[in-house]
Amino acid sequence: MSEAEKPLRYAADWIARKKQSRRIVVVTAYDAAFARLVARSRVDAILVGDSLSMVVQGHRSTIPVTLDEMIYHAQMVRRGAPDAFVIGDLSFGSFQKNMDQAIESAIRMVKEGGVNAVKMEGAEAHVLDAIRHLTAAGVPVMGHTGLKPQTVMTTGGYRVQGRSETEKKLEDEARALCQAGCFAMIFELVVSAVATRLSKDLPVPVIGIGSGAGTDGQVLVLHDLLGIDDSFQARHVKRYVDLAGLVTGALNEFGDEVRRGDFPGDEHSFS
């Protein structure tokens, strides 16, 4: 196997991919069944994102999910994809209090969740301090800037970032995350031109979501790209299959066969 074909195993592999100008593909997963399917695909890494608060738990934001729940889902993903590079999101409330809390939460995610790296939103002073401490201790940290769903209550909702009034703040945060030691970072809903420029300038991979094609890779919520929730519409999402329609059709066919007495047939019965 050539160097270019090797799977991601360590944080350093991400930076090597950037140097090779090879884009990185990331999707979310929240359980063993989907993680197993992702592991069989050409996707490079799995993010156990706090988006599970909305996608799996049915909440209206990412705020309610707890660290214990994130660890629980990370454990499922690890069992389904034992060899994958898995990143565990630190949930709202698990690292905002102070640096000590952030470090403790990250270590729990790694030890109990079995992840290869953790992800933290924002670039506040204590977050940067925690990133420095964790990376020095051997815990890889992925940053997250641009739109930060955990803070939408104070930033005015889900707005595109990087326009004139937010471009400097975005750039300052991205550079601070690099200096603190992040091996990669997510840009969420960032103006394409800004995301492209910073991706070229920054030494670590920038993984975009809703941030144009000029980043070093892309991440999407698995349920969005599979079309599991056909009521969800977002400009940055491409639906690659209508899984909601396929599942509904299969369930209806099962129900019809049961009502007609066609299922179970002899081939599904025992004598």
Taking a C-beta distance cutoff of 8 angstroms, is the pair 153, 195 a contact? no
Residues identified as active-site: 188
Angle at 62 between CA 138 and CA 166, to 5 degrees: 80
Q: Which two tokens stand for residue 76?
A: 């499922």
> Which residue from 207, 230, 234 is spatially nearest to 28, judged by alpha carbons?
207
Taking the C-alpha atoms of residue 182 and residue 178, their distance in angstroms, rounded to an integer, is 5
Taking the C-alpha atoms of residue 163 and residue 192, their distance in angstroms, rounded to an integer, is 10
Q: Phi, psi (5° rounding) for residue 143?
A: -90, 175
Taking the C-alpha atoms of residue 6 and residue 44, their distance in angstroms, rounded to an integer, is 10
Taking the C-alpha atoms of residue 51 and residue 33, their distance in angstroms, rounded to an integer, is 17
Length of the chain: 271
Q: Which two tokens stand for residue 80?
A: 């389904």
